[in-house]
Amino acid sequence: MGNLERSIRYYEMALAINPRFAETLNNLGVIYTLMGRTNEGLQYCKLAIEANPNYAEAYNNLGVLFRDEGRIPEAIASYAHCIALKKEAVNAAQNRLLALNYAVDFSPVQIYEEHFKWGREFSERFTRFPLKPHSNRRIRIGYVSPDLCIHSVSYFCEAPIRFHDSSKFEVFCYFNLSREDERTRMFKDLVSLDHWRDIVALSTEQVCEIIAGDEIDILVDLTGHTAGNRLDVFAMKPAPVQVTWIGYPNTTGLPTIDYRIGDAIADAGECDDRFVEKLVRLPGCFLCYSPPRVYSDVAPLPSLGTGVVTFGSFNNLAKISEDVIALWCKILSRVPESRMLMKCKPFATDRVRDRFFELFAKFGIPSHRVDLIPLAPKTEDHLALYGHVDIALDSFPYAGTTTTCEALLMGVPVITLKGEAHAQNVGMSLIKSISLAKLEMYCLCETREQYVENAVSLATCLEDLEEIRKSLRPQMLASSLCDGLTFTKHVESAFLSMLGRPASDREEL
């Protein structure tokens, strides 16, 4: 129910009865990790393992904690330990795949091979669901996700749900979370209650029965290998066409998913053979951003008031490796008195803050030039913090997505770096879709050297920086990145193509 403080109280009562109750120790570790209090989280995960050295799930949760702190090698090792103890540990196996996208020592081909292997082994656990011919009617699209709530994915799946052509398509939502919020209620209103299904407590077979009963033509996974996914359902293939999109930056590895939606920038070059699914590239960006309902005005350029340029990153720490910090420090060292502002939930923990201060110091930037702040309580508070940032610096090899859109919405340009894989190129696609010449000139970088040079150049040209800040939001909101109606027409044209409908039907859209 999300009542973490109350659950802590009851778990502590359980420990008062049995201090070595491994499951309770593990659950406290999970809760404190969720709260960003990773000191306590680490303590309880270790106590759970001491109480039961063969408790596989505790190693999985320790891996999640390490990932949240940005310690990817330790996270991968913890997931591997969990799998060694329990080969059928689905969560750990999928968490490991997700962590590989952040790792700097795995190539895109190696990451593909790991996903491919997982997909073949996982799919063997399931039998195909028997499909019946569907009646002649409007095309039915089903979206499966736990993230139809206040979650990053929801700001990108809103457009195709809100703007679908109801004369040709019916939209169903399969919601895999036990609690709702105001955005959940918005999605319910968009599809109507008779097209909304709560599936979180249902078995694989039960969900497949519901989807087949709804006669879904195209079933869309919005989650990939992230938390709350239902790839078990997709493994049984309860719909004739299955698609993965938005929620995961790589192949699912499942042979039962037919298509993956991308674009020519995020999925540039000859990368098609790194996806089990057939890659379908949309014209323009593969994403459409729907801003939150409430956000403040764009703040004046902070450096005009402070006299120093502040760089920023609000990405999660899994994306911020030592390699990233080293490159950022090259920029900071060349812009006198400049500062770095980072925001992430685990900065509520002294040990995490100290580790990042040490990383910056290792590359010559003292702690007094670095601000590390934890999670803001509300979305509007989070967005308002961009009023203290002049220039955002993107991460690699896993770039920002929602954080990039939020920065741009608040008038903050984002310096991003081209890479070999989709995860790194999303920023390139987002920025290119806004069509603002000076933004592209400074922010789209082909090499690390250009990334540094462009950040330094923009920081020393406050006239251009101020011009970008004033024009960025209106240009973004008027661009294809936020044009939900046109974007949805492109998506629906792709859906028709997947079903083998003739080109004349697609052109009508």
Give pLDDT tens digits for 432-469: 999 999 999 999 999 999 999 999 999 999 999 999 99
Q: Looking at the structure, do residues 446 and 496 belong to the same domain, yes or no? A: no
CATH code for position 218: 3.40.50.11380
User: What number of other Cβ atoms are within 10 A of residue 145's Cβ?
Assistant: 26
What is the CATH number for 87? 1.25.40.10
pLDDT range class, residue 375, cuts 50, 70, 90: confident
For residue 189, what are the domain limits?
139-288+483-508
Amino acid letter, residue 250: N
Give the per-residue pLDDT at 503: 46
Please tell me whether residues 312 and 457 are part of one structural domain: yes
At residue 353, the pLDDT reads 97
| Residue 297 covered by a domain | no
C-alpha dihedral sign at 185, 186, 191, 192: positive
Query: According to the model, what pLDDT value does residue 502 have?
Result: 53
Residue ending a domain, among 40, 71, 100, is 100
Residues 284 and 374 in one domain: no
Q: Taking residues 111-130, what's their average pLDDT?
A: 96
Q: Amino acid letter at 415?
A: I
Ramachandran angles phi, psi of 3, nearest 5°: -90, 80
Name the band, by pLDDT with cuts 50, 70 and 90, for residue 60: very high
Task: Kindly report, residue by residue over 237-289, the tens digit of the pLDDT.
Answer: 999 999 999 999 999 999 999 999 999 999 998 899 999 999 999 999 999 99
pLDDT tens column, 207-235: 999 999 999 999 999 999 999 999 999 99
* Residue 496 covered by a domain: yes
Gyration radius of the chain over CA positions = 23
**Do residues 10 and 81 share a domain?**
yes
In a shared domain, residues 229 and 350 = no
Q: Which long-range contacts (CB under 8 A, 24 or more apart) does 109-115 make?
A: 109/274, 111/250, 111/421, 112/250, 112/251, 112/274, 112/275, 114/253, 115/250, 115/251, 115/252, 115/253, 115/276
Domain-located, residue 105: no
Give me the pLDDT at residue 506, please.
40
- Residues 318, 456, single domain; the answer is yes
The one-letter amino acid at 134? H
Q: Look at residue 220 and tell me if it is in a domain.
A: yes
In a domain, 126, yes or no: no
Q: What is the mean pLDDT of residues 123-148?
A: 91
Q: What is the mean pLDDT of residues 54-74?
A: 97
Query: Are 328 and 227 part of one and the same domain?
Result: no
The CATH number of the domain where 329 resides is what?
3.40.50.2000
Is there a domain that residue 13 lies in? Answer: yes
Within this chain, do residues 403 and 266 fall inside the same structural domain, yes or no?
A: no
Contact (Cβ atoms closer than 8 angstroms) between residue 312 and residue 391: yes
Would residue 295 count as lying in a domain? no
Report d(CA 104, CA 471) in Å as an integer. Answer: 35
Residue 507 scores a pLDDT above 60: no
**Which candidate, 489, 451, 215, places its Cα nearest to that of 330?**
451
* Nearest-angstrom CA–CA distance, 367 and 186: 43
In whole numbers, what is the pLDDT of the chain averaged over residues?
95
* Co-location of 15 and 87 in the same domain: yes
> Is residue 337 located within the same domain as residue 471?
yes
Task: Return the structure tokens found at 303.
Answer: 């450096």
- How far, in Å, CA of 208 to CA of 236, rounded? 8
Q: Would you tell me how many other CB atoms lie within 10 Å of the CB of residue 66?
A: 24
- Of the candidates 50, 73, 100, which is a domain's last residue? 100
- pLDDT digit string, tens, across residues 432-442: 999 999 999 99
So what's the pLDDT on residue 501? 67
Pair 177, 146: CB distance under 8 Å: yes
Per-residue pLDDT band at 93 (split at 50, 70, 90): very high
Question: 51 lies in a domain?
Answer: yes
Residue 318 shares a structural domain with residue 455: yes
Q: For the chain, what is the domain count?
A: 3
Looking at the fold, whether 307 and 188 belong to one and the same domain comes out as no
